[in-house]
């Protein structure tokens, strides 16, 4: 997670748990000496798959998502490199690869992750309308990369490299850098700290995934129909086409449980598999030194003929407790 200070929290201790419908964290498998665990065996298979010459972007995203959650960062980077090659016209491809590079965490990885996210932000006007406002999510991710760079390599590294990369992206995407650099100068050091940040993405284009968060203490549900709650929980723009991402932010969490629920409402095109593969990135105390992250992978069944939407799936719970 990113470093930095700021932002107190009502819930100073958090517990994040997955339900039986999703997988999370790093898989574990019991095995004797010299035997390969199920997780390691699966990781090897998925890594090998990325070497095949396949031109279906959904295929590489599915592989990349699962390699991410088993912490095979090299394999995930390889999968998302292929996805970017297949679908370079989609900002999702840039963001997916940037997140995988950030997870791997090398100096060159962080530099490239920053460049990829800058492309998503700077070229916002060029993306298809179904990707509208994705640059806001990417900007939050860019700040997290910045915090990593500052924590590991110092402020001077980011001041020198970050500013140069931003101007280069602006020149390539817009033809001029002066206006956007001036207008966004404050963005370099502004930090939005929050107790809870949840970002959901999925692998299937032209797909409407309903995502909601239920707050146990108040009984309130934050979703596309009620994008804000009295406690301050906020849902960003509802994505009804494309791959997401769908973002939830909560500045100050109550001492209660937050449950993430999902279902597929509409799927416009055939896919290579029956399910829509979603990843849910849960970040607690985001933007502070206590930031923690868990990643969940959840397969969702699309609606069948005659159904308005698929079944509701409870993916994960976040519990904020007293310290």
DSSP 56-116: -HHHHHHHHHHHHHTT-HHHHHHHHHHHHHH-TTSHHHHHHHHHHHHHH--HHHHHHHHHH
pLDDT, position 103: 94
For 230-256, what is the HEC assignment?
Answer: CCCCEECCCCCCECECEEEEECCCCCC
CA distance 281 to 263: 16
Please state the φ and ψ torsions of residue 28, each to the nearest 5 degrees. -125, 145
* pLDDT < 50 positions in the chain: 1-13, 20-21, 26-33, 177-183, 185-186
CA distance 289 to 16: 18
Q: Which long-range contacts (CB under 8 A, 24 or more apart) does 268-272 make?
A: 268/206, 268/207, 268/241, 269/204, 269/205, 269/206, 271/58, 271/204, 272/56, 272/58, 272/59
Closest CA to 104 of 76, 79, 142: 76
pLDDT, position 63: 85
How many CB atoms neighbour CB 65 within 10 A?
Answer: 25
- DSSP E strands in 251-323: the ranges are 257-267, 276-286, 292-300, 313-321
CA distance 166 to 128: 22
3-state DSSP assignment of residue 281: strand
Are the C-beta atoms of 99 and 115 separated by less than 8 Å?
no
Closest CA to 80 of 198, 44, 68: 68
pLDDT, position 174: 56
List of residues 6+ apart from 216 with CB closer than 8 A:
256, 257, 258, 259
pLDDT, position 272: 60
**pLDDT tens across 32-66, in order?**
445 555 556 556 666 666 566 567 788 888 888 88
pLDDT, position 9: 41
313-321 and 13-18 strand pairing: antiparallel
Are the C-beta atoms of 207 and 221 separated by less than 8 Å?
no
DSSP 121-167: HHTGGGS-GGGTTHHHHHHHHHHHHHHHHHHHH-HHHHHHHHHHHHH
Are the C-beta atoms of 197 and 214 separated by less than 8 Å?
no
- DSSP E strands in 5-55: the ranges are 13-18, 23-24
Which residue, chain included where needed, has tokens 């997670």?
A: 1
Model-level pTM?
0.78
């Amino acid at each position: 997670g990113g470093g930095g200070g700021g932002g107190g929290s009502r819930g100073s201790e958090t517990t994040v748990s997955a339900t039986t419908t999703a997988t999370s964290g790093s898989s574990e498998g019991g095995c004797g000496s010299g035997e390969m665990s199920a997780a390691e065996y699966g990781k090897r298979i998925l890594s090998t798959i990325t070497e095949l010459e396949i031109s279906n972007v959904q295929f590489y995203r599915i592989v990349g998502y699962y390699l991410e959650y088993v912490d095979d960062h090299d394999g995930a980077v390889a999968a998302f490199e292929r996805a970017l090659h297949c679908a370079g016209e989609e900002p999702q491809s840039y963001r997916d690869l940037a997140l995988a590079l950030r997870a791997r965490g090398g100096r060159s990885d962080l530099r490239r992750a920053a460049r990829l996210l800058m492309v998503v932000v700077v070229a916002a006007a060029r993306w298809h309308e179904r990707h509208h406002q994705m640059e806001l999510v990417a900007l939050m991710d860019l700040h997290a990369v910045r915090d990593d760079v500052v924590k590991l390599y110092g402020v001077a590294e980011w001041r020198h490299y970050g500013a140069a990369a931003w101007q280069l992206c602006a020149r390539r995407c817009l033809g001029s850098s002066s206006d956007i650099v001036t207008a966004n100068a404050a963005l370099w050091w502004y930090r939005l700290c929050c107790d809870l940040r949840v970002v959901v993405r999925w692998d299937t284009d032209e797909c409407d995934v309903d995502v909601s968060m239920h707050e146990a203490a108040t009984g309130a549900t934050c979703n596309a129909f009620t994008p804000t709650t009295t406690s301050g929980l906020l849902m960003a723009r509802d994505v009804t086409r494309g791959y997401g991402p769908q973002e939830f932010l909560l500045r100050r969490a109550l001492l209660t449980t937050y449950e993430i629920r999902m279902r597929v409402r509409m799927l416009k095109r055939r896919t290579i598999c029956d399910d829509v593969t979603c990843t849910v990135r849960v970040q607690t105390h985001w933007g502070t030194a206590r930031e923690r992250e868990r990643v969940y992978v959840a397969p969702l069944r699309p609606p069948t003929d005659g159904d308005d939407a698929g079944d509701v799936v409870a993916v994960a719970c976040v519990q904020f407790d007293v310290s």
